[in-house]
Amino acid sequence: MTESPFKGKTGIKRVFNALGYSIDGLIAGWQNEAAFRQVLLLAVAGIPIALFLPVPIWGKALLIGSHLACVIVELLNSAVEAAVDHTSLEKHHLAKRAKDLGSAAQLIGLINLTAMWVLVLLA
């Protein structure tokens, strides 16, 4: 068992280390995951549009939150896929289930995003 990368680190040093790991994760997602790039680019386009739409602040918040939720779900989905692939590249029904569940979570996130855009624009 390996030690935690945070072991022995406290206070501001721990915060900066955690920030570095998070940035490494964003870079890894961008470099290795086409789906992450697509969802992130959708957010980069959708969030500014949401900010400038003549809709109430609650509408802007729903749209921005829905975009960010999709980005988060895609990062988690990519993490599950990487962990499963690291464990074994052999086909296994549990590995397939894990990957399919992550994919289903993103599908629900994208359906939610679409629904929020429709509802906010029609409100």
Domain CATH code at residue 71: 1.10.287.3610
Q: Which of 29, 36, 73, 74 is catalytic?
A: 74
Residue 50: inside a domain, yes or no?
yes
Label residue 3 by pLDDT band (50, 70, 90): low
Range of the domain at 39: 35-122
Q: Does 99 carry a binding-site annotation?
A: yes
Confidence of residue 79 (pLDDT cuts 50, 70, 90): very high
R_g over Cα of the chain: 18
Q: Provide the pLDDT for residue 92.
A: 93
> Does residue 21 lie within any of the structural domains?
no
Q: How many other C-beta atoms can be found within 10 angstroms of the C-beta atom of residue 62?
A: 21
Our count of domains for the chain comes to 1
| 9 inside domain | no
Whether residue 3 is annotated as binding a ligand: the answer is no
Residue 74 is among the residues annotated as catalytic for this protein: yes
**Is 17 a domain residue?**
no
Q: Does 74 carry a binding-site annotation?
A: yes
7-16: Cβ within 8 A, 24+ apart: none
